[in-house]
Amino acid sequence: MFTLEPNTPLLLCLLAWVALGIGMAVFRTRESGPAARRDPRSLVGLGIQSLAATMVFAIHRELDRGPSLAEAMLRWGGVLLAWASAGVAIGAIRVLGRHWSLQARLLPGHRLVREGPYAHVRHPIYAAMLGLLVGTGLNATPWLVHAPAAALYIAGTQLRLRTEEGLLLREFGDEFVRYVAEVPALWPGRAPKAPAQVR
């Protein structure tokens, strides 16, 4: 058995969320003019993702002061996952700059970002937010809530992917098709899929 202040890993996970919020504030730049195109359906996906996060933060489990080695490793692994995920998300927001937004939209003069984390996955912020959610859930949430919350987050993410990629396909055509063929959506190393149809 390992003596562990029950809330220490959870507090460290919560600090990763704070770091992400600070990174968003620091690296987000103002939009230059109104959006040329937007798709409000992405906000439905955001709502589903937010419900998943609410489940993780609102439904807590009691943490053992003397967890087994496996439990302690799982909880500290959640801390590492949360901080690594926050770092990826902050890096992706920094690379996106003025293109970053909660709603799917294209700005005038929008360009297809392919550098930084976007060279490895097309949607690193969504992947990173899932990592933050899972890492935090490992320290806060019962498995019977944690697993459905992660599944719900993935469902909301898939909805947002479809709307965003539909906009990008209409805007960038063959350039975006080539990007999709070369870079997976969320998980590095996973075989890319064909882009969503124009909607």
Closest CA to 128 of 170, 160, 167, 84: 84
Tens of pLDDT, residues 74-110: 889 999 999 999 999 999 999 888 777 777 777 777 8
Query: How far does Cα 129 stand from its chain's mean position?
Result: 3
How much of the chain is in helix, strand and coil states, percent to nearest 5? 65, 5, 35
Q: How far apart are CA 122 and CA 30, in angstroms?
A: 22
- pLDDT tens digit sequence for 11-34: 999 999 999 999 888 877 655 455
- Among candidate residues 53, 66, 57, the one with its CA nearest the CA of residue 1: 66
pTM of the model: 0.84
Ranges of each domain in the chain: 39-182
Taking the domain 39-182, which CATH number applies? Answer: 1.20.120.1630
Q: Is residue 149 predicted with pLDDT exceeding 50? A: yes
3-class secondary structure, 195: coil
